[in-house]
Amino acid sequence: MSRTSTSRSSEKRLLRYVDIHSPEQSTDVDFEEIASFLEHLFPSVRFRIRPSILTSVRKKCIERISERFASARMKDPNKAEQSFEPMYGEIDYERRTVLGEARIGGIVYDGRRLEDLFTSILGPQDLREHVSIILTDRLVSTYSTDDLRHHLRTIVCGFPSIVSLPGIVEAPAKPREYYLMKQGMELQGAGDVQLQELKKAFEGRFIDYGSPKTTEVLKGLALQGVLFHLTLQPFCDNKRCRLFNAHWQEDLIGSQISSGKLCAKHANVMRRLGKEPAINW
């Protein structure tokens, strides 16, 4: 069933399943805790932890999927559409990531092209009752019409929704003072030890790799993915709400850790949706 035909249906559609796909390589996330958090909000929905989406790539499709990963790379942040022929080395690297022979990292992918790619790997799904949330170790971006540039994202809401673990660290900006001090230290030739000490000086003001707070942040991002599927409106303007789409690390920590709650408006929305998770689009 196409998205268009689904939106035209007058039949009440209730969400029944949410599949949360584990990232390709990260192991320091408590997926059961994320599922338990969502089950508390949506008691009638079954949340299932799935292996990495790469495990669903059939052997005969590896070459084609690798080429599509290479083609999905974001190379020019000023262009909405990335159009180029991937080089052999790029395809070979992607092949090794699909096979688990190369570590993923340092490359930014166009989130919308990844969405199309993941959709093809997942195969046909009934969008009336099924949500897929893909956690990935890849950095993802989408193009903003506000400033006509690509920006890194923590989540790309769609069908499926994509949550980037390194995006939690790299997408929301760190405090301005951090960047100023880092730039000054680098100009003076500071090494890794000094830069690590700088990070310690700002401890608590941003999420870093391996932080135990990552699981807590992922709860809110996964909730945004579910809410997008139900309403197409996953975000809130309130900085103390778990649905706030944070562009600064301190706002991310404020909404997901310090507050860790929904605003009054979305608490009411969630109580209604929790009783009857109907798809309203």
pLDDT tens digits, one per residue of 167-211: 999 999 999 999 999 999 999 888 888 989 999 999 999 999 999
Which residues, in sequence order, are bridge partners of residue 163?
Answer: 135, 155
User: What pLDDT, on a 0 to 100 scale, did the predictor assign at position 281?
Assistant: 83
CA pair distance 20, 34, nearest whole angstrom: 9
> What's the confidence (pLDDT) of residue 278?
92
pLDDT tens-digit readout, 6-58: 444 556 789 999 999 999 999 989 999 999 999 999 999 999 999 999 999 99
**Residues of the chain with pLDDT > 90: what percent?**
85
pTM of the model: 0.92
Angstrom distances, CA of residue 113 to CA of 78, 201, 226, 252, 261: 16, 38, 20, 26, 32
pLDDT at 191: 87
What's residue 24's pLDDT?
Answer: 96
What is the rounded average pLDDT of the residues 238-260? 97
> What's the mean pLDDT in 73-96?
94
* The predicted structure's pLDDT at residue 6: 47
Which H or E run contains 150?
Answer: strand 149-153
Q: What is the pLDDT, as a whole number, of residue 190?
A: 84
Residue 120: what pLDDT? 94
